[in-house]
Amino acid sequence: MISQDQALTLLKAGLASSTADQTELVLIGEDLSLTRVAESQIHQNMYRSDTNVYVRAIKDKRVGITSTGDLNVEAVKRAVKDACDIGLLMPVDEQFVSLPSSQPVDKISTYFKNTAENSPQQRADAVKKIIDKCSKADLQAAGAFRNSTETVAVLNSLGVEQFNVSTKAELSMTITGNRDNAGWSIGYDRNIKNIDVDALAATAIDKAQRSVDPVVFESGQYVVILEPAAVGQLLLFLAFMGFGGKTLFEKRSFMSGKIGEKICGDNMTITEDPFNPQMLGVPFDYEGVPRRRVQLIEKGIAKGGVYNSYYARLAGVESTGHALPPNNSFGPYPKHMIMDAGTTTLAEMVKSTAKGVYITHFWYVNYLNPMKTMVTGTTRDGTFLIENGIVTKPIKNMRISQSILEAFSNVDMISSERKLYPQYSVVMLIPALKVNNFTLETTEG
């Protein structure tokens, strides 16, 4: 792992060599340790250290971007020169104004030594616990246990100078049997000691044991109870489809022209909050701009999106500190979303349901109609029928064809307990939901 002095000295040398009007260098490093499991055996144990420097050079409103994985000073200077040369070949971007200038950043402790130093033996010991529990239940385990340390440094010619080191750990598992049965669970935290291996294994094993010989269930609109992971998967796609400044500016967002209007149920409040103590987000973005807490939806009303410096200027607002690395084309999006908790429990949700479907999580969610927030996908690893307030038999996985905003307009109950759910470098703090009129289709011919 590169140190703060090494990173900033390297970037400063590159910056000093630039001939552009404005220059930005971003160093992104990851030290990843990973143990994979299949058929109740560890089949891969690896460590990877990867660090890249990205350069953005602007001259006469022409923007050149390049990167290098060579951390030699001369290699970084070559990357800066290449970015300057590439910029000369690019069209003029009349909408570009400036890179951001330096701003003070609140300090957040995102590094945990025990996570960074978690060893292959410690991961293997955790995996053995899971495998032993599965063996006693005549089940097999698959999954991954990873811990990583991530380094980010940002430097630009307008005085921005930021550095941060953070850790994170994630354990996911799918437990299967030989009767079309499966169960799943996931745990995430920056501090690995907060990942409860025994509890996660018990959850996945219980789902697998209860989902033996699932039956086909007819298509229709149902009351569904969504565990936090299922809710998080829907929220993530909602964010991709409309909470980012680029989609809002280009009027490709479902919130375009609807800020201040009601777009979902009164009981839905969604906030981007990197400062939440369970989140512990990196306090600045990949432009070195301080991250901000942003109200996205408040009591069903569309409030706003997140921005980097480029789209903030186009929209006439301030950056919220949500820039992605310089080589991305997607634009800013939220990475630390929180859904407000309710006042009930999962057990109470089930007890209140005369007929419905209990869903653990979704698989292969994808877009159907972004402006209508329509997505498709299938249920996975623990889908059950609810009858007269009791979870009864397992049912075969079903396909969804559902508007997320419609689902969030039909939320009847929200759990008081929330869980962290990670996906695609986004972390969410999410409750379970009871949703009315949710569309499910059989996958059987």
**Banded pLDDT at 233 (limits 50, 70, 90):** very high
pLDDT of residue 329: 86
Q: Would you say residue 190 lies in a domain?
A: yes
CATH number, position 60: 3.30.2290.10
- Number of structural domains (the chain) is 2
As given in the structure block, the two tokens for residue 397 are 């996985």
Q: Would you say residue 346 lies in a domain?
A: yes
Same domain? For 180 and 213 the reply is no
**Closest to 66 (Cα-Cα) out of 55, 74, 76:** 55
**Closest to 79 (Cα-Cα) out of 57, 51, 49, 50:** 57
Residue-wise pLDDT for 265-299, tens only, equals 999 999 999 999 999 999 999 999 999 999 999 99
pLDDT of residue 75: 97
Q: What is the dihedral of CA 419, 423, 427, 429, to 10 degrees?
A: -30
CA–CA dist 19, 357 (Å, integer): 62
pLDDT of residue 368: 92
**What single-letter amino acid sits at 144?**
A
Same domain? For 10 and 35 the reply is yes
**What single-letter amino acid sits at 93?**
D
As given in the structure block, the two tokens for residue 122 are 């410690």
- H or E element: which one contains 348? helix 346-351
Residue-wise pLDDT for 374-422, tens only, equals 999 999 999 999 999 999 999 999 999 999 999 999 999 999 999 999 9
Question: Which residues neighbour 85 within 8 Å (Cβ) at sequence distance 6 or greater?
Answer: 64
Q: Would you say residue 293 lies in a domain?
A: no
Same domain? For 88 and 221 the reply is no
pLDDT of residue 444: 74
Residue-wise pLDDT for 339-379, tens only, equals 999 999 999 999 999 999 999 999 999 999 999 999 999 99
Q: Would you say residue 356 lies in a domain?
A: yes
Q: What is the dihedral of CA 321, 327, 330, 333, to 10 degrees?
A: -20
Sheet containing strand 182-189, edge to edge, reads 62-68, 41-59, 22-38, 140-156, 161-176, 182-189
End-to-end CA separation in angstroms for the chain: 53
Residue-wise pLDDT for 31-80, tens only, equals 999 999 999 999 999 999 999 999 999 999 999 999 999 999 999 999 99
CA–CA dist 274, 306 (Å, integer): 12
DSSP per residue over 111-172, as a string? --HHHHT--HHHHHHHHHHHHHHHHHTT-EEEEEEEEEEEEEEEEETTS-EEEEEEEEEEEE
SS3 427: strand
Q: How far is CA 417 from the centre of its chain?
A: 19
pLDDT of residue 445: 55
**Banded pLDDT at 107 (limits 50, 70, 90):** confident
- Structural domain boundaries enclosing 412: 209-235+341-442
Mean pLDDT of the chain: 96
Q: Would you say residue 312 lies in a domain?
A: no
**What single-letter amino acid sits at 392?**
T
**Banded pLDDT at 1 (limits 50, 70, 90):** confident
pLDDT of residue 12: 97
Q: How many CB atoms lie within 10 A of CB 88?
A: 12
pLDDT of residue 106: 87
